[in-house]
Amino acid sequence: MSTPSAQLETTATTADTETDRQLATGAEIFIRSLEAEGVEYVFGHPGGAIISIYDEMHRIKPSFQHILVRHEQGGTHAAEGYAKATGKVGTVLVTSGPGATNTVTGIADAYMDSIPMVVFTGQVPTHLIGNDAFQECDTIGVTRSITKHSFLVRDVRELAATVKKAYHIASTGRPGPVVVDLPKDVLAARAPFHYPETTSIRGYSVVGKGNQEQVRKAAQMIAEAHRPLFYVGGGTIISGGSQKLTELARRTKIPVTTTLHGLGAFPETDPLSVGMLGMHGTYFANMAVQNTDLLIAVGARFDDRVTGKIEAWAPHARIIHIDIDPACISKNVPVDCPILGDVAQVLDQLDPLIEPAEHDEWLAQIDVWKRECPMDFRRDGKLRPQEVIRALRDHTRGEAVVVTDVGQNQMWGAQFYSYVHPRSHITSGGLGTMGFSLPAAMGAALGLRGQNRDVISINGDGGVMMNIQELGVAAAHGLPLKIVILNNGYLGMVRQWQELFHQERYSHTHLEPTNPDFVRLAEAFGCVGLRCTDPADIQDTIEAAWAVTDRPVVMEFRVVTEEKVFPMVPAGAATDNMITAQFSPEDCA
């Protein structure tokens, strides 16, 4: 009697260990899922809640590369930079509690700028959730209003399918960040690994083509217009519609203005380009907007930095709005002809319905505005930031990927580089996050590795300090980043507002007393440091920087403190109410 039962027991045990061997832990399933998703880089930082994932990574040697960032915020911006430069989804892995809260700024940034990113956060074991356990944070709650969607994985059997859904949601439609919260016990539990090939989500569908009737109406409006203008935003680049847009604009002779995120969607070297519009847009772009009779908004969202005083904006224009996000349509400005759809596909639909046209009078008027107030700067022997940007453009023939930070440096970077390729300009537009550029440039450089593209990071002396720790990471990976610091000794953009609108009360914007020696700082992180204080040396500095190919170079330019960003539409003013530069034309070459 005892023998069969003993036998039974043994078989049971062997069967158990066998299935155990076939079953994978949540940590392994996680890694296998990222591999199956084709992830190239994981920007991560370990901690207790996700230590099992790091342990599995050590054992498995996964097909993706893990980049150990030095602050989780840096990790999120690196993932954003990677995503913006490549069009692929950025991946971040952090621990629970402080690891998760450190990603909040980057998640909010990605949400505002429609950047595809999946952030995996550790979480305390499910039975401790809600108990204020060590390093617990309600990550889903904290990130709810800054994510496209979020998941808390409660069962290891749902892990792989959830990863699949997360990447699908992040990358389709209007892209955005997705948070996946991973409790520690789920990572330890076992399940068979199966990565689904496809996923379908009940309440989520992605629009493609636009309504043909609306497209026809738009074509009719374009045919009737005398002073049409394309207003092109980042959605055009995301959808891969830049090429089509460029062809269409050239064929129909319709001038093009772009938003900050639209830079590169249409070559700024083309005579039809009027450059960037909005608060720090060109005089001629803003004048064109105020006088156009048909504004064709393509993947743009009528942001307040673009429209200024909204009632006064584009007062004569009928508006066509092509966008993939229904919530963007008529959010800020009601439009005459909304077309919901993927920009590239809608442009394809529109193309055959539009006849080539001439708008000579309109283009001549734009030329007058271009001559009235060109984009230029004073050349008086002092080191001006605009001259640095122009020199960088000339040196790279406009072919580099430029990642700017936030502030004056961002606006000069936008105004003076002349972007000709989509995805060649990366910045934090919606949230305006200081400290974005350095880690984002690092992510971009990793994403573009082996493609022989220069990546330039443009910073102010304020913002660069906000994620300076990532300099060591860029150095460790031998990334030949060209890091520019336009050191004006101030929180320059705030200083500009204080000068113009607060009677020169420079309250707490002076940085010189707390600024480090940037050259020595660069060297301490294993980078090359260069300093330039004279416009005569700009060229030599740039050449010296480009001679370095095995590590990052930091170029500090000591620029004129008083330099301001012009034109400028004061906040809340009508966009034709611009403050323009106050230098006389004789000063300009």
Residues in contact with other proteins by the rule CB under 8 A:
140-141, 144-145, 148-150, 152, 154, 169, 201-204, 290-291, 311-312, 314-318, 325-327, 329-331, 333-334, 336, 576
Q: Residue 171 or 498: which CB sits closer to ligand TPP?
A: 498
Supply the minimum distance, in Å, between the C-beta of residue 46 and ligand TPP.
26
Q: How many residues bind ligand TPP (CB under 6 A)?
A: 19
CB of 538 to Mg ion, least distance (A): 18
Question: Is the CB of residue 380 less than 8 Å from the CB of residue 587?
Answer: yes
Instruction: Confirm or reject binding of residue 492 to Mg ion (CB under 5 A).
Output: yes
Helix axes 26-37, 51-60, angle to 10 degrees: 60
> Binding partner of residue 136 among other proteins, ligand TPP, Mg ion, none, CB under 5 to 8 Å per kind?
none
Question: Could you tell me which stretch among 307-315, 450-458, 482-490, 569-577 binds Mg ion (CB under 5 A)?
Answer: 482-490
Task: Pick the piece of the chain touching ligand TPP (CB under 6 A) from 71-79, 366-374, 413-421, 457-465.
Answer: 457-465
Among 492, 529, 535, 552, binds ligand TPP (CB under 6 A): 492
Q: Which of 407, 447, 529, 552 binds ligand TPP (CB under 6 A)?
A: 407
User: Interface with Mg ion includes 460 (CB under 5 A)?
Assistant: yes
d(CA 527, CA 176): 33
Cβ count near 127 (within 10 Å): 10
The tokens of 226 are what? 């005398």
Considering the rule CB under 6 A, would residue 460 count as an interface residue with ligand TPP? yes
The piece of 114-122, 271-279, 481-489, 526-534 that touches Mg ion (CB under 5 A) is 481-489
Quote the least distance from Cβ 99 to ligand TPP, whole Å. 19
Contact 89, 64 (CB under 8 A): no
Nearer to Mg ion, 176 or 460 (CB): 460
> In angstroms, what is the minimal distance from the CB of 330 to other proteins?
7
Closest by Cα among 183, 203, 81 to 124 = 183
Q: Which range of residues in 67-75, 267-275, 487-495, 544-552 is near Mg ion by CB under 5 A?
A: 487-495
For ligand TPP, the binding residue among 93, 170, 406, 522 (CB under 6 A) is 406
Please state, in angstroms and rounded to a whole number, the distance separating the CA atoms of residues 563 and 203. Answer: 51
Cβ distance to ligand TPP smaller for residue 362 or 412: 412
Tokens 């990572």 found at: 187
Residue 461 in contact with Mg ion, rule: CB under 5 A: yes
Contacted by 576, from other proteins, Mg ion, ligand TPP, none: CB < 5 to 8 Å by type: other proteins
State the catalytic residues: 72, 134-135, 184, 493
Minimum gap (Å) between residue 326 Cβ and other proteins: 5
Q: In this structure, are strands 24-25 and 190-191 parallel, antiparallel, or unpaired? A: antiparallel
Sign of CA dihedral 80, 496, 566, 334: positive
Q: Which of residues 412-441 bind ligand TPP (CB under 6 A)?
A: 432-434
Exposed / middle / buried, residue 284 (Cβ in 10 Å: 0-12, 13-18, 19+): buried
Query: Which residue is listed with tokens 């403050």?
Result: 579
Q: 295 near 338, Cβ under 8 Å? A: no
Find the DSSP H helices in 323-459.
343-350, 360-372, 385-396, 408-416, 437-447
Minimum CB distance to other proteins, residue 561 (Å): 35
Cα 447 from Cα 43, distance rounded (Å):
12
Contact residues for 519 (Cβ-Cβ < 8 A; gap 6+): 529, 530, 531, 554, 556
CA dist 530 and 553 (Å) reads 7
Candidates 60-68, 204-212, 310-318, 484-492 — which segment interacts with ligand TPP by CB under 6 A?
A: 484-492
Joined together, the tokens standing for residue 277 give 């519009």
Say which entry of Mg ion, ligand TPP, other proteins, none residue 406 contacts (CB below 5 to 8 A, set by partner kind): ligand TPP
Task: Check binding of 486 to ligand TPP (CB under 6 A).
Answer: yes
**By CB under 6 A, is residue 404 in contact with ligand TPP?**
no
Nearer to ligand TPP, 102 or 408 (CB): 408
Instruction: Count CB-CB contacts under 10 A for residue 243.
Output: 14
Helix 343-350 crosses helix 242-252 at what angle (to 10 degrees)? Answer: 30
Q: Minimum CB separation from Mg ion for residue 563, in Å?
A: 10
Q: What is residue 563's DSSP assignment? A: -
**Residue 363 vs residues 228, 253, 254, 279: alpha-carbon distances, Å:** 10, 8, 8, 23
Token reading at 61: 């040697």
For ligand TPP, the closer of residues 177 and 463 by Cβ is: 463
Query: Is-cis flag, bond preceding 567, omega within 30?
Result: yes
Binding window for ligand TPP (CB under 6 A); candidates: 12-20, 157-165, 190-198, 456-464: 456-464
Of 413 and 447, the one with the shorter C-beta distance to ligand TPP is: 413
318 binds, among Mg ion, other proteins, ligand TPP, none (CB under 5 to 8 A by kind): other proteins
> Per rule CB under 6 A, is residue 559 in the interface with ligand TPP?
no
Task: Name the residue with tokens 């301490």.
Answer: 524
Q: How far is the CB of 225 from other proteins (least distance, A)?
A: 12
DSSP 260-317: TTTTTSS-TTSTTEEEE-STT--HHHHHHHHH-SEEEEES----HHHHSSGGGSSTT-
| 257, 288 contact by CB (below 8 A) | yes
Q: Quote the least distance from Cβ 278 to ligand TPP, whole Å.
A: 16
Q: Which is nearer to Mg ion, 346 or 484 (CB)?
A: 484
Structure tokens at 445: 């450089």
Least distance in angstroms from the C-beta of 462 to ligand TPP = 3
> What phi and psi, each to the nearest 5 degrees, are found at residue 66?
-95, 125
Distance CA 436, CA 424 (A): 16
Q: Does the footprint of Mg ion cover residue 427 (CB under 5 A)?
A: no
Contact partner, 434, from other proteins, Mg ion, ligand TPP, none, Cβ < 5-8 Å per class: ligand TPP
Q: Which of 49, 124, 306, 491 contacts ligand TPP by CB under 6 A?
A: 491
In whole angstroms, give the CA distance from residue 566 to residue 272: 22
Q: Based on the shown chain and the rule CB under 5 A, indicate whether residue 463 belongs to the binding site for Mg ion.
A: no
Could you tell me the maximum CA-CA distance found in the chain, to the nearest angstrom?
109
Q: Which amino acid is residue 222, in one-letter code? A: I
Q: Is 526 in the site for ligand TPP (CB under 6 A)?
A: no
C-beta closer to other proteins: residue 149 or 253: 149
Asked if residue 278 binds Mg ion (CB under 5 A), the reply is no
Radius of gyration of the chain (CA): 26
Residues forming contacts to ligand TPP in the complex (CB under 6 A) are 405-409, 432-434, 460-463, 486, 488, 490-494
